[in-house]
């Protein structure tokens, strides 16, 4: 039985094998975790598709392959047994011969075991494209899809060749042939990462600029005409976020960026380049929330099985405010503002190895206990790498929580293609003036980063006003 790189979401074309959890020769049960992968969207443990013996690993750790590439083979339980215990079964002679020897060490060298397995895809070398319209938002439930299917495209891409074909066009392929260029090395800005004519022309300009420029002391990743194809896949060198290289000093430790680190870098730079970020800061007295937690926390825990957290209150108030100011729950698509039909709330979760933003789907339909359960569940599974790709996509607004570590407020970067992100500061006691008296109250700063292309200051302030009002209105009856 072939084990393939799973399709983790419609727009995902490839995945990196981070770790094999079994060695060749090990027996595996169906659904038992077999390997860990990292993709654009999510890190996940992939369960074994069937029970049996892991015969061979075709793609070593650290390599990136196309979706649907065969990464390993499993001999069915019965077949493996007969092969191991009796003479090789005639029909399974070849696999049996390979299983019989004691478990081979996991292939570590760069030697794909099967010709059809594409060599590790070299990193894309995406020079930052000239500022143009942002990529269209990924389809989100509740958003009206394009009416005509003319420009949709097939999914389930199998081989590298097919992928390259779907990601360019006849024109671009002809231009690439004329210029002896490799389309896979060009950053595509078209739908689903397609390399468009403009991308190719930009690529040519970049090469020209690079070749005509005066000798540069250090190679500029963005201007490198054709990055070496065999560059290690686990460390794509030239993400848009990749910095200039420099020689480390003696005593420095050099580590390649992980896939997740690279993706975060890429997304953050992309967002800063896309949105016109503006921040506003509000302060809220959360004494009543502290009291609710103190007085009802225990009961809430018993009834719902999860703790009553400050984040759940914020999530509830956020949903209320988004309903009151729907443009905060929108996305910019080309020159159209897409008002999302539902609120899918992203919650940033810090991990030891990075950051992920699981999404509470239909958060707008939930009460505080529903939100609290979803947050606990998603955060827990984020930390144990058990999120499904659907659970990290499709968000329409995001909450992040610098206050967990004591930060008073943050200036978060918008999670594209959303138009706003809320930062929740630490709760700390501060002297505040209440009706000419100074009182000691638990206070928290709320910061909003919004995209000024869509949201003007007045609208952002109105949104924050609604958020504060809704937060202050939370009482026992909401629990």
Partner 1 sequence: MAVRTYIEAIHDGLLEEMRSDPSVFIIGEDVGTYGGAFRATAGLLEEFGEERVVDTPISESGIVGLSIGAAMNGMRPVAEMQFIDFLSSAFNQVVNMAAKARYRWNAGVPMVIRGPCGGGVHGGPFHSQNIESHYLSTPGLKIVEPATAYDAKGLLKAAIRDPDPVLYFEHKYLYRRIKEDLPEEDYIVPIGQAMRRREGSDIAVITFGACVHYALEAAEQLAKEGISLDVLDLRTLLPLDKEAIRESVQRTNKVILYHEAQRTGGIGAELAAIVSEECFEWLDGPPVRVAAPDTPVPYSPPLEAAFLPGPAALVSAARRLHRY
Binding track over 278-307 against partner 1, x by CB under 8 A: ------------------------------
The minimum distance between CB 14 and partner 1, in angstroms, equals 21
C-beta closer to partner 1: residue 145 or 217: 145
Residue 130 CB, shortest distance to partner 1, in Å, is 12
Active site residues: 452, 456
- Contact region for partner 1 (CB under 8 A) — 120-128, 148-156, 307-315, 398-406? 148-156
In the complex, the smallest distance separating the C-beta of residue 175 from partner 1, rounded to whole angstroms, is 9
190 binds partner 1 (CB under 8 A): yes
> Which of 150, 216, 217, 247 lies at the binding interface for partner 1 (CB under 8 A)?
150
Nearer to partner 1, 134 or 420 (CB): 134
Which residue in the set 87, 94, 144, 147 belongs to the binding site for partner 1 (CB under 8 A)? 147
Q: Which of 50, 119, 169, 220 binds partner 1 (CB under 8 A)?
A: 169
Taking CB under 8 A as the binding criterion, the range among 44-52, 77-85, 169-177, 387-395 that sits at the site for partner 1 is 169-177
CB of 467 to partner 1, least distance (A): 34
Smaller CB distance to partner 1: residue 90 or 170? 170
Question: Residue 74 pairs with which residues in a beta bridge?
Answer: 54
When the beta carbons of 6 and 129 are compared against partner 1, the nearer one is 129
Shortest distance in whole angstroms from residue 169 CB to partner 1: 5
Q: How many residues bind partner 1 (CB under 8 A)?
A: 20
Q: Please name the residues in contact with 409: beta carbons below 8 A apart, sequence gap of 6 or more.
A: 281, 402, 423, 425, 445, 446, 447
- The residue (of 151 and 254) whose beta carbon lies closer to partner 1 is 151
C-beta of residue 401 within 8 angstroms of C-beta of residue 357? no
144 vs 244, which CB is nearer to partner 1? 144
Q: Are 93 and 132 in contact (CB under 8 A)?
A: no
3-state secondary structure of 388: coil
Binding of residue 165 to partner 1 (CB under 8 A): no
For residue 191, state whether it binds partner 1 (rule: CB under 8 A): yes
Is 138 a binder of partner 1 (CB under 8 A)?
A: no
Residue 197 binding partner 1, by CB under 8 A: yes
Query: Within a 10 A sphere around the Cβ of 170, how many other Cβ atoms?
Result: 8
Of 21-29, 68-76, 191-199, 407-415: span binding partner 1 (CB under 8 A): 191-199
The residue behind tokens 């970020």 is: 277
Q: Which residue has the tokens 């392929």?
A: 173
Minimum CB distance to partner 1 smaller for 190 or for 341? 190
- Give the residue with the Cβ less far from partner 1, 150 or 438: 150
CB 184 within 8 A of CB 121: yes
CA distance 247 to 218: 10
Greatest Cα-to-Cα distance within the chain, rounded to the nearest angstrom: 93
Interface residue with partner 1 among 130, 145, 151, 458 (CB under 8 A) is 151
The only residue of 114, 174, 273, 294 in contact with partner 1, by rule CB under 8 A: 174
Check binding of 201 to partner 1 (CB under 8 A).
no
SS3 347: strand
Q: Is 117 helix (H, G, I), strand (E, B) or coil?
A: coil
> Quick count: other Cβ atoms within 10 Å of Cβ 136?
17
Identify the residue among 136, 139, 219, 354 touching partner 1 (CB under 8 A).
136
Verify binding: residue 133, partner 1, rule CB under 8 A: yes
- 105, 115, 156, 170: residue in contact with partner 1 (rule CB under 8 A): 170
In the shown chain, the binding pattern of residues 322 to 361 toward partner 1, with x for contact by CB under 8 A and - for none, equals: ------------xx--------------------------
- Number of residues that make up the chain: 479
Residues forming contacts to partner 1 in the complex (CB under 8 A) are 133, 136, 146-148, 150-151, 169-174, 190-191, 194, 196-197, 334-335
């Amino acid at each position: 039985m072939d084990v393939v790189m799973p399709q983790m979401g419609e727009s995902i074309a490839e995945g990196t094998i981070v770790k094999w959890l079994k060695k060749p020769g090990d027996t595996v049960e169906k659904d038992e975790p077999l390997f860990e992968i990292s993709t654009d969207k999510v890190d996940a443990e992939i369960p074994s598709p069937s029970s049996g013996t892991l015969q061979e690993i075709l793609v070593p750790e650290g390599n990136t392959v196309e979706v649907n590439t065969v990464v390993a083979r499993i001999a069915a339980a019965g077949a493996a047994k007969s092969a191991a215990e009796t003479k090789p079964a005639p029909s399974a002679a070849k696999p049996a011969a390979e299983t019989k020897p004691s478990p081979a060490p996991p292939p570590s060298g760069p030697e794909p075991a099967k010709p059809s397995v594409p060599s590790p895809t070299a990193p894309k070398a995406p020079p930052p494209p000239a500022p143009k319209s942002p990529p269209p938002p990924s389809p989100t439930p509740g958003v009206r899809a394009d009416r005509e299917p003319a420009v949709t495209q097939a999914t389930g891409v199998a081989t590298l060749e097919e992928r390259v074909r779907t990601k360019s066009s006849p024109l671009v392929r002809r231009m690439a042939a004329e210029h002896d260029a490799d389309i896979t090395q060009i950053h595509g800005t078209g739908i689903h990462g397609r390399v468009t004519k403009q991308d190719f022309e930009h690529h040519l300009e970049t090469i020209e600029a690079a070749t005509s420029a005066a000798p540069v002391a250090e190679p500029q990743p963005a201007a490198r005409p054709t990055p070496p194809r065999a560059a290690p896949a686990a460390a794509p060198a030239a993400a848009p976020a990749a910095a200039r290289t420099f020689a480390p000093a003696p005593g420095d430790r050099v580590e390649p960026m992980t896939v997740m680190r690279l993706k975060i870098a890429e997304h953050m730079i992309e967002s800063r380049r896309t949105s016109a970020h503006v921040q506003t800061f509000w302060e809220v007295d959360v004494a009543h929330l502290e009291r609710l937690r103190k007085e009802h926390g225990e009961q809430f825990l018993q009834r719902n099985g999860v703790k009553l957290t400050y984040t759940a209150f914020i999530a509830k108030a956020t949903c209320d405010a988004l309903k009151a100011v729907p443009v905060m729950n929108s996305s910019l698509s080309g020159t159209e503002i897409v008002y999302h039909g539902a609120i899918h709330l992203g919650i940033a979760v810090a991990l030891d190895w990075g950051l992920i933003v699981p999404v509470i789907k239909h958060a707008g339909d939930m009460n505080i206990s529903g939100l609290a359960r979803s947050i606990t569940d998603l955060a827990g599974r984020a930390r144990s790498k058990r999120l499904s790709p659907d659970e990290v996509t499709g968000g329409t607004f995001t909450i992040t929580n610098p206050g967990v570590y004591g930060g008073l407020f943050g200036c978060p970067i918008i999670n594209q293609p959303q138009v706003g992100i809320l930062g929740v500061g630490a709760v700390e006691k501060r002297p505040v003036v209440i009706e000419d008296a100074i009182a000691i109250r638990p206070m928290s700063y709320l910061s909003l980063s919004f995209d000024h292309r869509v949201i003007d200051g007045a609208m952002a302030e109105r949104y924050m006003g609604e958020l504060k009002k809704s937060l202050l209105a939370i009482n026992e009856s909401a629990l």
